[in-house]
Amino acid sequence: MGNNMEEIIINEKTTELLVKITPFMDYTRMSRIVNKLTDYAEPLMEGKLSGIINFNYSLNSSQTNMVIDLLIEIQALSRIYSIAQKGKRDLEPEYISNIFSDVTNPANISSYLSIRTLLENRLNHQVQQYNINMNKSNTTLAIPINELRGHVKTYRDLMDSNVTISHKAQHGFVAASLHDAYLIILNRRDWWDDRTYMKYFFNEDEPSKRNITLISRVERLTLREIDENVKRILAYFQEVAAQRLKVKSSEEFQVREKEAETTYEKSSKIFTDKLMLTPFGRQYGEKIDSILKDIFDTPSPSLSEEEVRAIAEKLYHVYKTLPSSLNLPENIAMCENLAYFLLSSDMGLKKFAETFIYNDRRISFSKFFTEKRDELDDFATKIFVAFFEYKFSSLFRIIKSLDMKQYACAFIIKRIYILKGEDLSTFGFFLIKAIAKFGKIKAF
């Protein structure tokens, strides 16, 4: 995700705009823009829209315009025009927001009704002005769509030249912009049969042309499709945020280790000190080592084989019925006892399952273990996740952000390898796997 995007988001034009926008835009800012534009009850002048997008004045005008272009491209905004004041050659743009909180029943939203009424009032006026400029005797005649296409082409051909654009072409272009905006707000698949629409426009288009906008020449979207586009844009920026966080965490880890390297000579026997001298290590290292010392130095609880079996069977039943309840107070003491027992034993998963879980004599243990291996592996991991959360709860009451939790878990895993090394039991590796699972470290 980023400037070298291979995935197409909505379409190629949208993807190109996202590539340009991503360096200065993030999920929080885009969400705020979308929230501000949702159910917006009136047209937005360019200055007002720019203020919504550049709310903290961190963007330049070019960047602000790129965001506007993106919102127009996904049809979250419609650009409508009006004839400029006397003395000005250009048409004056305004913007209509097509983002609504209820796209299934937009007519229940007062802002939607306000926008629709406003567009209909503008169309009443524009039909009259268009017919006057076309020298038609009846000023209420519906405007032929084919005429508007001609005016749009004329206006586009002349807008970048020094040739004066006729009032006919200008009024035609204004009417075309209102037509495109109104059809999105109308939100009907069979809009050509709508009585109000027929009051303003005369449409003889063949079906293949009906859903193509007059000005931008793209397929017109429904409010639901626009809503889906907006959600895809927000999802994209969420992914970007996750990628940025991942890179940031990785870079911070490397920087912290380099800081330690410059403080100490490179030596395998000082690797412990190097890790502990990172900013994180200086703040939390002693606390982490104290908890790890308790975990690995606590002797196995003096439980008989029958007592261990009773605990294992009960927890396995809890795991199979409601696994999320393993870390509840009534179960955590059993998880702790079982974890201590397993960490101090030299048995593996197979021996543990045969001794403390397997009780169905109707099938051989070999078949039982083959069928249940993944489940047993997950059960053991979840026991150690509950155990880890409990033992390190005091640390994670302080460390709450996801990126710092991930860093802390990576730190703890490294400390376990340093402190225990080759002495780590089979279930010691289950503890490491549980820590990685808790910290969402994908390498494990």
Domain of 18 in residue numbering reads as: 12-236
pLDDT of residue 173: 94
Together in a domain, 268 and 226: no
Together in a domain, 103 and 226: yes
**Rounded CA separation 124/131 (Å):** 11
pLDDT of residue 257: 53
- Whether 248 maps to a domain, the answer reads no
- Whether 6 maps to a domain, the answer reads no
* Coil, helix or strand at residue 337: helix
**Rounded CA separation 420/415 (Å):** 8
Together in a domain, 365 and 407: yes
Together in a domain, 307 and 369: yes
Together in a domain, 280 and 209: no
Together in a domain, 133 and 231: yes
Together in a domain, 181 and 74: yes
* Coil, helix or strand at residue 52: helix
* Among the listed residues 85, 79, 98, 92, the one whose alpha carbon sits nearest the alpha carbon of residue 178: 79
The one-digit pLDDT tens for each residue of the chain (444 residues) are 444 455 678 888 999 999 999 999 888 889 899 999 999 989 999 899 999 998 878 888 899 999 999 999 999 999 999 987 654 557 889 999 999 989 989 999 999 999 999 999 999 999 999 999 888 888 889 999 989 999 999 998 887 777 788 888 999 999 999 999 999 999 988 888 889 999 999 887 777 788 899 999 999 999 999 999 999 898 888 888 777 665 555 555 555 555 555 544 443 343 445 667 778 888 888 899 999 999 988 887 888 889 999 999 999 999 999 888 898 888 999 999 999 999 988 888 888 999 999 887 788 888 888 888 889 989 999 999 999 999 999 998 888 888 888 888 988 988 888 888 767 788 888 899 899 889 887 654
Together in a domain, 217 and 348: no
- Per-residue tokens: 407: 């860093």
- Per-residue tokens: 358: 């397997």
Are 112 and 227 in contact by the 8 Å Cβ rule? The answer is: no
pLDDT of residue 323: 84
- Whether 415 maps to a domain, the answer reads yes
Domain stops at, among 220, 236, 252: 236
- Whether 277 maps to a domain, the answer reads yes
- Whether 335 maps to a domain, the answer reads yes
DSSP 137-188: S-TTPPEEHHHHHHHHHHHHHHHTSSSPPPHHHHHHHHHHHHHHHHHHHHT-
pLDDT of residue 238: 81
Together in a domain, 204 and 345: no
Per-residue CA distances from 303 to 299, 328, 355, 385 (Å):
11, 22, 14, 22
Per-residue CA distances from 251 to 248, 254, 403 (Å):
5, 5, 12
- Per-residue tokens: 156: 């586009």
- Whether 443 maps to a domain, the answer reads no
Together in a domain, 396 and 322: yes
- Whether 409 maps to a domain, the answer reads yes
* Among the listed residues 177, 196, 202, the one whose alpha carbon sits nearest the alpha carbon of residue 83: 177
Number of domain units in the chain:
2
Domain stops at, among 236, 256, 277: 236
* Coil, helix or strand at residue 347: coil
Per-residue CA distances from 215 to 80, 268, 323, 348 (Å):
10, 69, 58, 70
pLDDT of residue 349: 86
Together in a domain, 152 and 279: no
* Among the listed residues 142, 172, 136, the one whose alpha carbon sits nearest the alpha carbon of residue 154: 172
Using alpha carbons only, what angle is made at residue 258 by residues 256 and 259, rounded to the nearest 5 degrees? 65
Together in a domain, 131 and 213: yes
- Whether 25 maps to a domain, the answer reads yes
Given phi > 0 = left and psi -120 to 50 = alpha, else beta, which region is 421? left
- Complete edge-to-edge strand list for the sheet that includes strand 92-97: 44-45, 92-97, 77-82
Per-residue CA distances from 283 to 276, 289, 398 (Å):
9, 12, 11
